Amino acid sequence: MCANITPLRSITLIVLTLLLARPAFPQLSSQNRELAQQMLHDIANDVRKHYYDPQFHGVDWDAKVLEAKQRIDKAASMDMALSEIAAVLDLLHDSHVFFVPPSHAYLHDYGWQMQMVGDRCLVVRVRPTSDAEVKGMKPGDQVMGINGFRVSRDNLWKMEYFYNVLRPQPALRVDLGDTVGVSRQLAISAKVRLMNRVEDFGPSNIWDLVRRSENAENQLRPRVAELSDQLMVLKLPEFVVSGDEIGSLARKARKHKALIVDLRGNPGGSVETLQYMVGSFFQQKVKIADRVERDATKPLMAKPGHEDVFLGKLIVLVDSRSASASEVFARTIQIEKRGAVLGDHTSGSVMEAKYYSHESGADTVTFFGASITDADLIMTDGQSLEHVGVTPDEIVLPTPSDFKKGDDPVLARAAELLGVKLSPEQAGKLLPYEWPHEY
């Protein structure tokens, strides 16, 4: 159980549930009801033993767990029973406490992505040849509602968790407004691929798992664009990079006068990666935050980069999907006055947690677990970023038209502040998004 600061909002949560196939759950049999009760029991005990606040923020934990148990006794389906487990964890109102249910017996892809941009939810990408593209969904369309529920900053992550993890749907009914204000409703079908059963580990299935693992690793790799000796752009999709690799990236950055660290869409990750990242920008010792645990408070210090320290000009890019470790990094840069932060207001999902796994069954094993916060992080200005987030030094938001054209005005503005001419069109082509391979 390695320490991490990746919240529920992270798309990598879905990766955890794809490695092993969930057996199909039809009507809720007595055996499956007993399984759901066992899941609730195990996870509730993990929270009792490991949650950083023994008072559970004033929640009567035992009473709420008992209520969930009683609702599972009456649940009509396994999906409803699993939802009760997720709901009781949600009562803690903690971005890093969440239920990871048994994985589904299929791969599921809606073929489009959305995110909050300011106070609007916009379609940011549509996969080529997907049903979303065929039906006419376009980047830049505003998402007004999904299956009749209005979308906002407060509930978008819950919708994504529900529709991607708890109860994937064969189709979604999406209410859209386009760039010229025309409203329409689309029924977007998901692409579904049935997976092999967990116990069937023939050669073809092993290689299928390997290919998907390699695909995920490729998606998380750091990417670099070098613009002469003036500027380097580092796109970091997640904090899963080793100290040695961070040192290598810092040495490459030292060949340039300025660096843009693009953390847009970065959901966080490893605490150790965060420590090395912060340490690669300072020659002196830097305290990142205080870790407030159940029984103690400990400083979280940067790990010095020694000779691998970049001392040039620095700008950090963030957006509404920048969460956890990426928020802590950006705020540390602000507090220490080391550089500027540009983009959108961040997620406000900053805690430190561990993942606790469980399994049940003999012939067919069911895997499940939960992420549980073991420490709050208090920044050196005395503030927590949980439910607060980072306010950029300069708010720069792409417009619906920018998404439609593939332009990147945020990166272009950062380059301009560093003395490098880069048009939004050029910036959009610099490190374009790469869709995961379909298998």
CATH code (residue 250): 3.90.226.10
Q: How far apart are CA 326 and CA 111, in angstroms?
A: 26
**The pLDDT of residue 8 is above 60:** no
- Regarding whether 408 and 264 lie in a shared domain, the answer is yes
Q: Mean per-residue pLDDT for 201-207?
A: 44
For residues 260 and 233, the answer to whether their CB atoms sit within 8 Å is: yes
Is the residue at 331 inside a domain? Answer: yes
For residues 420 and 227, the answer to whether their CB atoms sit within 8 Å is: yes
Please write the tens of the pLDDT for every residue from 61-84: 999 999 999 999 999 999 899 999
- Regarding whether 269 and 131 lie in a shared domain, the answer is no
Q: How far apart are CA 277 and CA 310, in angstroms?
A: 10
Question: Please, what is the average pLDDT of the chain?
Answer: 88
**The pLDDT of residue 7 is above 70:** no
Three-state secondary-structure class, residue 372: strand
Is the residue at 212 inside a domain? Answer: no
- Regarding whether 58 and 178 lie in a shared domain, the answer is no
Picking from 53, 76, 100, the residue at the C-terminal end of a domain is 100
Is the residue at 207 inside a domain? Answer: no
pLDDT of residue 214: 54
**The pLDDT of residue 215 is above 90:** no
Could you tell me the CATH number of the domain that includes residue 154?
A: 2.30.42.10
Picking from 149, 177, 194, the residue at the C-terminal end of a domain is 194
Q: How far apart are CA 247 and CA 277, in angstroms?
A: 9
Three-state secondary-structure class, residue 220: coil
Q: Mean per-residue pLDDT for 289-317?
A: 93
Question: Looking at 17-21, 52-56, 188-192, 206-210, which range is the least confident one?
Answer: 17-21
**The pLDDT of residue 284 is above 50:** yes
What letter represents residue 395's amino acid?
I
pTM metric for this prediction: 0.90
Question: Looking at 21-25, 81-85, 223-227, which range is the least confident one?
Answer: 21-25
Please write the tens of the pLDDT for every residue from 377-435: 999 999 999 999 999 999 999 999 999 999 999 999 999 999 999 999 999 999 999 88
Question: Looking at 1-10, 247-256, 263-272, 361-370, which range is the least confident one?
Answer: 1-10
Q: Mean per-residue pLDDT for 335-347?
A: 98
Is the residue at 211 inside a domain? Answer: no
- Regarding whether 156 and 255 lie in a shared domain, the answer is no
pLDDT of residue 9: 44
Q: How far apart are CA 279 and CA 243, in angstroms?
A: 10
For residues 315 and 342, the answer to whether their CB atoms sit within 8 Å is: yes
Task: Please give the share of the chain, as a percent, with pLDDT higher than 90.
Answer: 76
Is the residue at 439 inside a domain? Answer: no
**The pLDDT of residue 436 is above 50:** yes
Q: How far is CA 18 from the centre of its chain?
A: 16
Q: How far apart are CA 413 and CA 155, in angstroms?
A: 30
- Regarding whether 265 and 170 lie in a shared domain, the answer is no
pLDDT of residue 205: 46
Strand-pair category, 297-301 with 120-126: unpaired
Band (272; pLDDT cuts 50, 70, 90): very high
What is the total count of domains within the chain? 3
Picking from 100, 133, 166, the residue at the C-terminal end of a domain is 100
pLDDT of residue 360: 87
pLDDT of residue 199: 42
- Regarding whether 251 and 387 lie in a shared domain, the answer is yes
Q: How far is CA 240 from the centre of its chain?
A: 12
**The pLDDT of residue 16 is above 70:** no
Band (108; pLDDT cuts 50, 70, 90): confident
What is the domain range of residue 77? 4-100
Is the residue at 67 inside a domain? Answer: yes
- Regarding whether 29 and 13 lie in a shared domain, the answer is yes
Is the residue at 208 inside a domain? Answer: no
**The pLDDT of residue 202 is above 90:** no
pLDDT of residue 3: 64
- Regarding whether 178 and 53 lie in a shared domain, the answer is no
pLDDT of residue 308: 83
Band (366; pLDDT cuts 50, 70, 90): confident
Q: Mean per-residue pLDDT for 144-158?
A: 93
pLDDT of residue 217: 66
DSSP 166: I
- Regarding whether 95 and 8 lie in a shared domain, the answer is yes
pLDDT of residue 105: 72
Band (18; pLDDT cuts 50, 70, 90): very low
- Regarding whether 112 and 95 lie in a shared domain, the answer is no
- Regarding whether 183 and 124 lie in a shared domain, the answer is yes
Is the residue at 435 inside a domain? Answer: no
Q: How far apart are CA 51 and CA 294, in angstroms?
A: 7
Diameter of the chain by CA atoms? Answer: 67
Q: How far apart are CA 166 and CA 104, in angstroms?
A: 9
pLDDT of residue 437: 77
- Regarding whether 281 and 314 lie in a shared domain, the answer is yes
Please write the tens of the pLDDT for every residue from 24-46: 445 689 999 999 999 999 999 99
Distances (CA, A) of 392 to 274, 317, 344, 420: 19, 8, 7, 21
Cβ count within 10 A of residue 376:
21
